[in-house]
Amino acid sequence: MISNKPKPKKLSLDELVFGALSQLQVLNYNERSIRRYQSTWNRLITFAKKNGYKKQLCEKLILEFLEYHDVHPNLPTSAYKDWRRHAEFSLKILWNYARFGYFERCKIVLDKLNIPPAMQKNLYEYKKYCEEKRYLSPGTVRECFSQISLFLDFMGKRNIKTFYQIQPKDISDFICSLSRYSQRTISGIASYLRMYLKFLVYRGYLKNDLSQSVPSITVPYQAKIPSVWDRELIVKLLDAVDRSSPRGKRDYAILLLACRLGLRLGDIREISLDNIDWEAEMISITQGKTKAPLCLPLTNEVGNALIDYIKYARPQIKYRQVFLRLTQPFTPLSTNNHFYTIVKYWRGVAGIQFRSQQHKGLHSLRHSLATYLLEDNTPFSMIADILGHASMNTTMIYAKTSVETLRQVALTIKEVNHGN
């Protein structure tokens, strides 16, 4: 994710380090970590002064500093490797702070992609347009930015420097290069690309509307059957979580919100302390996907897990989001975090094996709850309310996952009389 925050003014190296150290304190890094960063940055300042560098940070300074410290005679090999890794990471953080004015984890590093400078500048412009004019959610903007970056990288590798050089065949070839992905994924990328190409015409970067050259990818409606866990596997997963550790306390609460309440992963990630009414025993949120309000009962099992995490494992800092990172900085979970590693880790601890290939992430736990409710003869309307579906048609998808439900509506095969 690249932020649209204004870039800071050019700071001297001393001012830059002072600001970066202040930012580490704001992000609740402990004193030992801050001292390690400060040690590396102070060495950089000393090196810059000795070698006649200007007061500001530059890439050449960083590279020469690392080259100068390519060996460290006063440290054993293992200790030096550890110092070197931390030094490189420290300088990367300082470099990002110099560029953006804050620390940020970037999933896609544009410097590593072959995007022509003019196109890269336009990409930032499009991102801002999506945020401020189309009002797309941060997650959608990030995904769109990611896919368009790869499209422009594909163009750059073809030595295409300007938008006017793009031909319909280039677009078709890009879509063909995505053949390793599912139809649904390719369809989504194609949709992002059409939006972007229309934007280029709207802003005058293109004369011809090349969005019509993007192949149409047909995805049959409700073609997929949601992945469902066997009930005993859910029990096995939850029993495997070590609830004596901070990680276990947090992850157990997250898993219960998916398994017992069926919350979407984005809503779990964003759930706030203000969304929990302990006296009324309710959780009330505004759903990220539909923007509709959703109120669910706070069961004893879920409530106790949340209390155990909040009271005994959650860092006591200013953020209102319930779930925070386990390591410094103790910030809310990134929107890139889809909780897959959480499910995968405890699935491994539990030794869970599936009978056939299926989705195994957090969202599949939501699918499983819907199927269990259906098998327990819960009305579709009630399941839709629990899952926060805007349309009953969405809930009907789960009828395909329940063998018993399908058996009840199976048609009797009439005897066929072939005649004589």
Over range 256-281, report the average pLDDT: 94
Confirm whether 192 is domain-assigned.
yes
Q: Are 86 and 21 contained in the same domain?
A: yes
Label residues 361-383 b or e (16+ Cβ within 10 Å = b).
bbbbbbbbbbbbbbbeeeebeeb
Q: Are 367 and 237 contained in the same domain?
A: yes
Measured CA to CA, the distance from residue 383 to residue 402 in angstroms comes to 14
Say whether pLDDT at 283 is over 80: yes
- What SS3 class is residue 371? helix
Over range 80-100, report the average pLDDT: 79
Measured CA to CA, the distance from residue 142 to residue 126 in angstroms comes to 12
Measured CA to CA, the distance from residue 65 to residue 335 in angstroms comes to 34
- Of 49, 90, 97, 98, nearest to 66 by C-alpha is 90
Encoding tokens for residue 80? 């030096």
End-of-domain residue from the set 100, 134, 156: 100
End-of-domain residue from the set 71, 100, 129: 100
Domain of 80? Answer: 13-100
- Of 8, 34, 36, nearest to 21 by C-alpha is 34
Measured CA to CA, the distance from residue 420 to residue 416 in angstroms comes to 12
Q: What is the pLDDT of residue 407?
A: 52
Say whether pLDDT at 191 is over 90: yes
Task: Point out the least confidently predicted range of 108-112, 203-207, 268-272.
Answer: 108-112
Say whether pLDDT at 417 is over 60: no
Q: Are 243 and 383 contained in the same domain?
A: yes
Q: What is the pLDDT of residue 261?
A: 92
Q: Are 275 and 378 contained in the same domain?
A: yes
Q: Are 131 and 91 contained in the same domain?
A: no
From the number of C-beta atoms within 10 Å of its C-beta (0-12, 13-18, 19+), residue 400 rates as middle
Dmax (CA) of the chain: 106
Q: Are 387 and 272 contained in the same domain?
A: yes
Secondary structure in 3-state letters for 38-65? HHHHHHHHHHHHHCCCCCCCCHHHHHHH
Q: How would you list the strands of the sheet with 282-286, edge to edge?
A: 276-277, 282-286, 293-297
Encoding tokens for residue 357? 């290939």
Say whether pLDDT at 399 is over 60: no
Say whether pLDDT at 165 is over 90: yes
Q: What is the pLDDT of residue 109?
A: 47
Confirm whether 1 is domain-assigned.
no
Q: Are 96 and 115 contained in the same domain?
A: no
Tens of pLDDT along 199-240?
A: 999 999 999 999 999 998 877 655 566 778 889 999 999 999
Residue 272 pairs in a beta bridge with 321
Is residue 228 within 8 Å of 405, Cβ to Cβ? no
Q: Are 268 and 381 contained in the same domain?
A: yes
Q: What is the pLDDT of residue 233?
A: 94
Total domain count for the chain?
A: 3
Residues with catalytic annotation?
A: 264, 289, 363, 366, 389, 398
Q: What is the CATH classification number for the domain harbouring 133?
A: 1.10.150
Please state the pTM of the whole predicted model.
0.60
